[in-house]
Structure 1
Amino acid sequence: MQKLFCLLVVVLFVQAGVAQNKSIDIKGTVTSTTEEVVGVYVLNKTSNKATITNLNGYFSIPAQEKDTIEFSAVQFTNKKIVITAAILQQNNWVVALEVALTELKEVVVKPFYLSGNIATDLNSLTLEPVVDGRSLGLPNQNVKTLSSDERALYSSMSGGPILSLINALNGQTKLLKKRVERNRRYQKTMRVKRYYADSLFVNELGIEKDKIDLFMWYCEFKDDFQVVINTKDQLKIWEYLRKRSMEFKTKKIGVQSN
């Protein structure tokens, strides 16, 4: 009887240990006060499993206590969080990300460089040209509606020399340029995706249908992707996607939708 009791105690301890080490799907939402939260890369660095957030910043990823989760995107500062028991108990884990701002060099204005005459001093400063549809490289610039980021960039640089100077010094223009460039890259990636039917990704590349967007996102952040797609050669682009698909399938990358 005593041996049976000891055996039961051992079994219970083993089961408890297994339960503690079992991964569960953590559901959460990435938030930001200024930036879009779609496409944030969520990586469990302990298990090497990953996913990306949807349009609302929602994500779901397997994890267990003491796992390290990393959140990364070009517009945000990378954030690493160690999973705790409290996080595992939450129905919706909210993760606030900080915008990645490039630190600007200190601007020192020396009095003997200035005359005191605003018009004269502004003429002596070198300002970047005003950004318009043509300088942004937009097709049909006379009729195309600019995106919200492009309009903001245009406003920051076309509000007169004084406002343009202020926005250049405080980093606002530089930040908007980065956002416009990021959106351009995303639009290019989606255009490449539309070159080919989903069935080609599934049947020829072996990419699951619900992972096609994630695969394109994976390619977008490769250094040579922009060079290849700028050729606009669909055969060359397809060969590139074929090679990258073999890399992609060896990685434990997944995506969930809300």
Structure 2
Amino acid sequence: MLSKLIFAFILLLSTAVYAQQSQGKVYAEDKPLEGVLIINKTQDLMTSTNRWGDFEIAAQLGDSLIFSYSFFETQIHQVEAYQLEETWVVELKESRNELDAVTITATNKVKEFRVEEYDKNFNTWLQKDIQEHPELYSPGPSGSGIDFIAIGKMVWNSIKKDKKEKAEDPNRFRILKLGELEAFFKKDAFFNQDLLRNQLAVTQEEEPLFFDYCLEQQVDARLLQDKNEMRFLEYLMKRSAEFHKLNAAN
């Protein structure tokens, strides 16, 4: 009988611990923030603040809570005892991260091509290169004085090299493509089918439409980098909420 009572007590205690909730309020500059993403990284749970900045999430002592919001610095808090017993406050600070300003953009300005500027720059480069590599500018077989074939090859190689360097630069702005997003969700350990189905509530039938909806604006491919995973998750949460609202309206 005693052993049964002890077992029941332990079971009740463990259930109470597991059912603990952490409640709080998130604000910035004395104003509550709505839509702040709160993630319990330890238990793989997430929620967001309401219009008054309030939140409630299941947590245990020592869990890691992540607070993420656009244009604000991400904060990580390790749950302490008082944060399970009383309402606590999180103050977010504005971020100066350049990615925040270019994550999503409707249009990209294309630099105007100016012939005069190009000719001036090319002539400057050509004169400098003639001085550094005179052997490449020796008279050709026709006796014209300048080997234009060599010049053409150098210009073409220079253009190809510049394009390759830009394409390989991971910190350069580049629009995320649908194929990249689909492949990312197939191989990533966190951004996967489980996240789509259970956290974002996107069904298998809705998945193609949801991806199209996410990419209808030009999205910075740098969001897929590990250091930006919280911003990417926040973006997906907001887009999924909009997506479901549109579906419900239709």
TM-score, structure 2 as length reference: 0.38
Higher-Rg structure is 2
TM-score, structure 1 as length reference: 0.37
Does 1 or 2 have the higher relative contact order (CA < 8 Å, sep 6+)? 1
